[in-house]
């Protein structure tokens, strides 16, 4: 058991930088390897998958122009399989590559969204042998660069890339295995087989992940790896150059398989470094945007108010990243939070929507935090607010019903990822005090916070901090909410919840699975286990002449850059 606990703590400590990035920078969050879910037994009858989504129709737009985008850091090298850094993956050389699947983007896609569509494929099906078969597009060519020279893409290219990703010790080694994928095979020139080790209804999300890039074996054979090699892909962008301290330049691929795309001629991904005074580059990015040096940037919450108060002319788009954000968790092993009435009183005492207005400039959303394919999978705002939160009178009644002497002494541990957490902690403490609690706010080092939540005997009462970033529904529910999960963050042993989680994990009917996920969210609130007062959001700021720009940064998606255009 000691070894297991140590492994859990090391996992969380490894997540701390990514958690901080997800909740303090406001930009595309660092993607991390999720806790390995609990495998589900294969069903005796193959499930019937939903009809394959069609590829998004190419929008109308104007061709030409250059877009300058704020990137967040230098890339360590150019090998996209050996590194999970987001600048490399989605704001740098990685833009030259395609994937088998991708996330849908566009004006009609409401977020949060994990809806899939084909990238390199034409269609897919789930066979009676519990394997996926993908029919590849026959019109995909590698970019006409040495040493690949524009040859046709074939199924063996995907098998090679996926096997290379699983090299022991590499950053993406477990991306497929943790979601139930056992292996790949080229069934013929344009047919790819994907075998499952166990039924996981999120399995295909790993093939749409921005890190699941298809690379050419000829480049690896000639250069040994991709760290310093030319970047040769099949994507909409051709890599020109990457200069440390400056950024990356890409140009439109003239042989890209989606006719008419990309609209833009050039993407300049410009590094904006933090000043010596401020460790964040957000203010420098904002100043560069106001000076006309950047066309697109993302800003964290502390800078949103500065933007609104400035004289800058701008358009903006908010993206939501469920599975990341701020979590308020209650330790069910520690009195008084072993009493469900006390836990529900905490939820009824708080008003997350007021916190969002006061601290996050009105930009954000609240909920359980679970990643979902579509907003219809989320418990409705009316039910959350009407039944579980933001009712101080109900909070007082619940506390009185326990027979405890008021006020009830409790400790609220706040992880010091940045000042905004302490500010939120003080607001929560104020609301708790008003209904009959006597909270003491204690600031914790993020490492201490991680260790306290992961101990077999939880070392906290009420904790406020960052969720460990998870990208998929099963990664969140099996990893964080299941009693046997590797990061059971509230320390419960709830057989009813576990059964619901396991049932949805291998449910391939979207409507049935959606109903189960909604039941799980409702159960979490009824038991008062946890809540996310602010789920992670990114505010994209851009010039008014940028059109067709509909970002979705879940799963490190980046396809939206090829569909944006300039009206100049």
Distance (Å, rounded) from C-alpha 520 to C-alpha 480? Answer: 13
Q: Which two tokens stand for residue 565?
A: 């255009």
- Residue 38: count of CB within 10 angstroms of its CB: 18
Tell me the CB-side half-sphere exposure of residue 172, using CA atoms within 13 A.
23
Question: pTM here?
Answer: 0.89
Range 309-315 contact pairs with CB under 8 angstroms and sequence separation of 24 or more: 310/286, 313/543, 313/544, 314/289, 314/541, 314/542, 314/543, 314/544, 315/541, 315/542, 315/543, 315/544, 315/546
What CATH number belongs to 322-537?
A: 3.10.105.10
Phi and psi at residue 40, to the nearest 5°: -105, 140
Please state which of the four CATH numbers 3.30.70.580, 3.40.190.10, 3.50.50.60, 1.10.274.10 is assigned to the domain occupying 50-63+75-266+552-561: 3.40.190.10
How far is the C-alpha of 441 from the C-alpha of 399, rounded, in Å? Answer: 20
Element (H, E) at 565: strand 565-566
pLDDT value at residue 471: 87
The whole-angstrom separation of Cα 57 and Cα 118 is: 12
Res 30: pLDDT: 43
Residue that is written with structure tokens 């901080």 in the block? 20
pLDDT at 48: 56
From first to last of its 568 residues, the chain has per-residue pLDDT tens of 333 333 333 343 344 444 444 444 334 444 444 555 545 544 445 555 555 666 778 888 999 999 999 998 999 999 999 999 999 999 999 999 999 999 999 998 998 899 999 999 999 998 888 899 999 999 999 999 999 999 999 999 999 999 999 999 999 999 999 889 999 999 999 999 999 999 899 999 999 999 999 999 999 999 999 999 999 999 999 999 999 999 999 999 999 999 999 999 999 999 987 655 455 678 888 888 988 999 999 887 767 777 877 777 899 888 877 677 899 999 999 999 999 999 999 999 999 999 998 888 777 789 999 999 999 999 999 999 999 999 999 999 999 999 999 999 999 999 987 778 899 999 999 999 999 999 999 999 888 888 877 766 778 999 999 887 788 999 999 989 999 887 888 889 999 999 999 999 999 899 999 999 999 999 999 999 999 998 877 889 999 999 999 999 899 999 999 999 999 7
51 touches 550 (CB < 8 A): no
pLDDT at 50: 56
**Contact predicate 208/103, CB 8 Å:** yes
CA angle, 125 then 99 then 376, to 5°: 65
How many Cα atoms sit within 13 Å of 328 on the Cβ side?
Answer: 29
- The domain ranges of the chain are 50-63+75-266+552-561, 322-537
Burial of 421 (0-12, 13-18, 19+ CB in 10 A): buried
CB 228 within 8 A of CB 201: no
């Amino acid at each position: 058991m000691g070894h297991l606990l140590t492994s859990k703590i090391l996992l969380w400590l490894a997540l701390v930088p990514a958690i901080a990035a997800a909740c303090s920078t406001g930009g595309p969050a660092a993607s991390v390897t999720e806790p390995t879910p609990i495998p589900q037994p294969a069903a005796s009858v193959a499930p019937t998958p939903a009809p394959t989504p069609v590829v998004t129709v190419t929008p109308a737009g104007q061709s030409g122009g250059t877009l300058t985008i704020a990137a967040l850091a230098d890339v360590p090298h150019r090998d996209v399989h050996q590194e999970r850094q987001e600048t490399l993956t989605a704001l740098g050389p990685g833009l030259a590559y395609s994937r088998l699947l991708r996330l849908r983007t566009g004006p009609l896609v409401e977020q949060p969204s994990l809806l899939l569509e084909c990238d390199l494929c034409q269609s897919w099906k789930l066979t009676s042998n519990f394997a996926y078969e993908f029919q590849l597009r026959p019109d995909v060519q590698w970019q006409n660069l040495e040493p690949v020279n524009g040859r046709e893409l074939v199924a063996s290219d995907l098998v090679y890339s996926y096997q290379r990703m699983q090299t022991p010790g590499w950053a993406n080694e477990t991306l497929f295995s943790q979601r139930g994928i056992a292996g790949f095979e080229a069934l013929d020139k344009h047919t790819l087989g994907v075998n499952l080790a166990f039924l996981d209804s999120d399995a295909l999300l790993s093939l749409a992940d921005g890190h699941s890039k298809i690379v050419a074996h000829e480049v690896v054979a000639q250069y040994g790896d991709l760290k310093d090699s030319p970047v040769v892909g099949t994507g909409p962008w051709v890599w020109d150059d990457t200069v440390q301290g400056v950024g990356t330049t890409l140009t439109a691929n003239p042989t890209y398989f989606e006719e008419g795309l990309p609209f833009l001629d050039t993407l300049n991904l410009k590094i904006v470094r933090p000043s010596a005074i401020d460790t964040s580059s957000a203010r420098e990015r904002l100043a560069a945007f106001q000076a006309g040096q950047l066309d697109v940037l993302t800003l964290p919450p502390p800078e949103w108010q500065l933007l609104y108060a400035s004289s800058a002319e701008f358009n903006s788009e908010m993206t939501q990243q469920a599975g990341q954000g701020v979590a308020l968790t209650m330790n069910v092993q520690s009195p008084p939070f072993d009493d469900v009435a006390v836990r529900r009183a905490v939820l009824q005492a708080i008003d997350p929507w007021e916190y969002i207005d006061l601290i996050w400039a009105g930009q954000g959303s609240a909920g359980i935090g679970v990643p979902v394919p579509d907003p219809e999978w989320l418990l409705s705002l009316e039910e959350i607010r009407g039944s579980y939160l933001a009712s101080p009178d109900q909070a007082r009644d619940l506390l009185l019903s326990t027979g405890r002497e008021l006020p009830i002494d409790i400790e609220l541990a706040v992880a010091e990822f940045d000042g905004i957490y302490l500010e939120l902690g003080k607001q929560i403490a104020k609301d708790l005090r008003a209904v009959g609690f006597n909270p003491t706010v204690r600031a914790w080092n993020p490492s201490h916070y991680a260790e306290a939540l992961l101990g077999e005997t939880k070392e906290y009462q009420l904790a406020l901090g960052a969720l460990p970033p998870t990208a998929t529904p099963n990664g969140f529910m099996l990893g964080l909410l299941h009693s046997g999960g590797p990061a059971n963050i509230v320390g419960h042993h709830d057989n009813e919840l576990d059964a619901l989680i396991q049932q949805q994990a291998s449910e391939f009917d979207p409507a049935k699975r959606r109903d189960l996920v909604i039941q799980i969210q409702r159960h979490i609130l009824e038991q008062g286990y946890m809540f996310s007062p602010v789920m992670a959001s990114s505010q994209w700021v851009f010039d008014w002449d940028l059109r067709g720009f509909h970002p979705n940064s879940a799963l490190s998606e980046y396809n939206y850059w090829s569909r944006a255009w300039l009206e100049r």
